[in-house]
Amino acid sequence: MRFTAIKLQRFRNYESLAIEPHPGITVLYGPNGSGKTNLLEAMHLLSLGRSHRTAQDREMVAAGAQSSIIQGRTQRTDGAHDIEIRLHPHEKPHKKVLLYGKPAQRIGDLMGHATVVMFSPEDIRIVRDGPAARRRFVDMQLSQIRPAYLQALKTYMTVLESRNALLKQNKLFGVSDFLTQLETWDDQLARASVPLVRARRWFLSELSRNASAQYAAISENPNEPFELRYVGPLAQAEDVYQEMLSGLNRSRREDMQRMYTTFGPHRDDVALMLFSHDLRAFGSQGQLRTAVLSMKLGEIQLITDEMGEPPTLLLDDVFSELDLKRRNALLKSTEGIQTLLSCTDRADAAGAKADQFLRVCQRADGTAELQEG
Ligand SMILES: Nc1ncnc2c1ncn2[C@@H]1O[C@H](COP(=O)(O)OP(=O)(O)O)[C@@H](O)[C@H]1O
Ligand SMILES: [Mg+2]
């Protein structure tokens, strides 16, 4: 798939922008702080409904403005798709999605109209940060590939919140039919965990296979076997529903004390294994970077296989930091795929076989503008 048009109004430092990205490789270049990441962020927002770098949508609305409009048109094998997102921090709802000009029922309906894989300096957080960063990575990618997953995740989180609220209410004030209510939530939570666990298991085994092949191709030592492993109380469960119920039963006493659900896939993690050891604990900086790059490259393959067409690639500031071998692996993955690559100097993209150069400049008032060439 590819983006054929992008329009921004009052988005970050873009007062107004309309571009028609090239189907091949576009190099976005300009000084730090000029607006390169902002444009890639808008494309991420159009694909996944959220920014890759902030959880606060209001940050994306241009300073001093009340609202922002982000529009994209994509071309997929099944035809053209029109996506529009409106951000209104001072109104409810704060975010509206329109598909083909009509309001969407849910934010999640946006999934599947545009698909991107973003490479950014922040990717290293997948290995450096705690389990939540890895769950976010898995959840976002799965949602892109299987829109129904996002709905399943939302259902699980809603039931989890209700169960936690009941635990809290009971400990603080006492609830007369507490056990009956708890059992109802346990049953619902166990049901809701089934699609999550199954999808994560599938995703991680597929991604592991792809990432492992990518790792072998770019690491200094081709004999280093890299793999991803799904870590969680239900990762190996045969009957997910039953094992979730038993787990909730076992942890009931502790949950009542802590007023929080301690068992379940909301605490899942992903282990990055090298020679069957956790890379996060003993890997070198270079190995960690290679692992993250392999996961991202593996994801391109997985999306292409599953969705029948490749995603658009957004390479934010990552190109110049890579050595030749990694750079070439990345370039190989961009062949025939729409790619937007950002860097500070035009020369940083040497070797990238660019089809188009866009210079990002800041006007005197701080707003951004794009010039071809
Ligand atoms: N909500 C906003 N309103 C106006 N300007 C913003 C907003 N958020 C960020 N900016 C500006 O955008 C610029 C950063 O853009 P960015 O795309 O991250 O730069 P880079 O080209 O280095 O990737 C900064 O000048 C910052 O002040
Ligand atoms: Mg940037």
Give tens-digit pLDDT for 80-98.
999 999 999 999 999 999 9
pTM of the predicted model as reported, rounded to 2 decimal places: 0.94
In angstroms, what is the span from residue 117 Cα to ligand 1's centroid? 21
Please state which of the ranges 13-22, 65-74, 95-104, 317-326 shows the lowest mean pLDDT. 317-326
Query: Closest ligand 1 atom to the C-alpha of 39?
Result: 17
- In sequence order, what are the residues at sequence separation of 6 or more whose Cβ sits closer than 8 angstroms to the Cβ of residue 183? none
Query: Mind listing the pLDDT tens digit for each residue in 180-221?
Result: 999 999 999 999 999 999 999 999 999 999 999 999 988 877
Domain ranges of the chain: 124-310
H runs (alpha helix) in the chain: 36-48, 125-128, 131-145, 147-173, 178-218, 240-250, 252-258, 279-282, 285-307, 324-334
User: 368 - beta bridge partners?
Assistant: 362
- Is residue 348 predicted with pLDDT exceeding 90? no
Query: Closest ligand 1 atom to the C-alpha of 63?
Result: 3
Share above pLDDT 90 across residues of the chain, in percent, rounded to a whole number: 85
293 falls in which pLDDT band (50, 70, 90)?
A: very high
Q: Determine the Cα–Cα distance for residues 300 and 305; give it in Å rounded to an integer.
A: 9
- Quick one: pLDDT at residue 182? 98
Highest mean pLDDT among 118-127, 259-268, 326-335, 348-357: 259-268
In angstroms, what is the span from residue 94 Cα to ligand 1's centroid? 21
Give the mean pLDDT of 345-370. Answer: 92
- Quick one: pLDDT at residue 107? 85
- Using an 8 Å Cβ cutoff, are 6 and 43 in contact? yes
267 falls in which pLDDT band (50, 70, 90)?
A: very high
Residue type, 271: A
CA distance to 38, 138, 151, 355, 360, per residue, from 373 (Å): 20, 38, 43, 10, 10
In angstroms, what is the span from residue 191 Cα to ligand 2's centroid? 42
In angstroms, what is the span from residue 93 Cα to ligand 1's centroid? 25
Which architecture characterizes domain 124-310 according to CATH? Up-down Bundle (1.20)
- Using an 8 Å Cβ cutoff, are 133 and 198 in contact? no
Q: Determine the Cα–Cα distance for residues 306 and 278; give it in Å rounded to an integer.
A: 28
284 falls in which pLDDT band (50, 70, 90)?
A: confident
In this structure, which residue's CA is closest to atom 9 in ligand 1? 12
